[in-house]
Structure 1
């Protein structure tokens, strides 16, 4: 079982509430079959809660009520599955091109009985016009310019992109501001969430479109 510190346990109970057991089962999937099938490296096991699941779950507060969300390059279901557990009101589509990851995601979604999640096998470009979303999210997919070019078209002119980023977020924003405007992004901000719950808060770039 993946370790969890007392402070992370408190944070997990705050973020997942009565659905904490689902989050625990998801982490167990990550720590076992997720590692065995190469979705994550074995060194990540001690950090599954802090660096991965809670890092994503704290962003749940940024999503509008009952939003339709596309998680681009979902991989091991981060942030999509973490968000689906924390926010059952959201409807999520996990966009992932690699078949072995898609198979794993579907197995986990079935086991956790998450009716608000489906998987689209394909690249972000292939999802345009097929996957409907009011919010697009992504984590560790690409530098912001490339990510914006991939994801903003899914919104079809209206909505927002919430990209989970690292400390270089302000630099990435500065470099890609012109391109973002060209793609229809009218407002870009860098936000930190989870400072009151996590040792390391999560950095999110928010781009409003339309």
Structure 2
């Protein structure tokens, strides 16, 4: 796929064709999420199965074309396993780590993964700042959906991604203001300007910000938990 050469270039993406077996498992995943969200741990905003399918599970599938041909992926702040578990169902050839800082959610995810019999997934309870100390720059792609604004997410993801890999932030229309704050300083994290992909899922317009990893992320990143939000890296030296 042509990623383009500018952060102003948009490429529209669609969900690739899925075979019946995979779609059935994705629907089952939606059912399980609805059950957990109603009875046990709130893993998604909505509780009804149809909304979970459309706004969360299906919404995660637009990024499938951006995933690497092989390798290791990590989903930071995965919550109910989105997008990482949906990707794992569609791409059993990939090794996918689901990371979340809330133990109740990771405990629920372990049960869901077991029920779905997905074998290419590992679930980790912890923060991205800690994982980057243990597994620095080993992932082919690191992703976050609905975690924080783009610049903050970049500090979480870049230390996890190997040079030549991709940091992927899944956003809504407000991404433009988030990017404007950075003033093109992505190289301070070892990243290139994002390649922007858009999609339409029902009434929702989504955007995939794919940051190519061009050089090693400086060792100072990630900083200790909470620092990324309190003192954004692009303002740290002001």
Q: Give the CA RMSD over aligned residues.
A: 2.2
- How does 1:1-210 map onto structure 2 within 5 Å? 14-15=17-18, 17-36=20-39, 37-42=41-46, 45-131=49-135, 132-193=138-199, 195=200, 200-210=204-214
Per-residue deviation at 1:15?
3.5
For residues 63 and 99 of structure 2, what CA distance do their matches in structure 1 show?
19
For residues 110 and 121 of structure 1, what CA distance do their matches in structure 2 show?
16
Q: Which runs of 5+ in 1 are unaligned?
A: 1-10
Contact (CA 8 Å) 1:187, 1:209: kept in 2 or not? Answer: no
Contact (CA 8 Å) 1:74, 1:96: kept in 2 or not? Answer: yes
Larger Rg: 2
Per-residue deviation at 1:67?
2.9
Per-residue deviation at 1:89?
1.8
Structure 1 segments of 4+ aligned residues over 6 angstroms from their partners: none
For residues 134 and 84 of structure 1, what CA distance do their matches in structure 2 show?
14
Per-residue deviation at 1:179?
4.3
Question: What secondary structure does 2:211 align onto?
Answer: strand
For residues 16 and 108 of structure 1, what CA distance do their matches in structure 2 show?
21
Structure-2-length-normalised TM-score: 0.76
Structure-1-length-normalised TM-score: 0.85
Per-residue deviation at 1:41?
3.6
Contact (CA 8 Å) 2:173, 2:206: kept in 1 or not? Answer: no
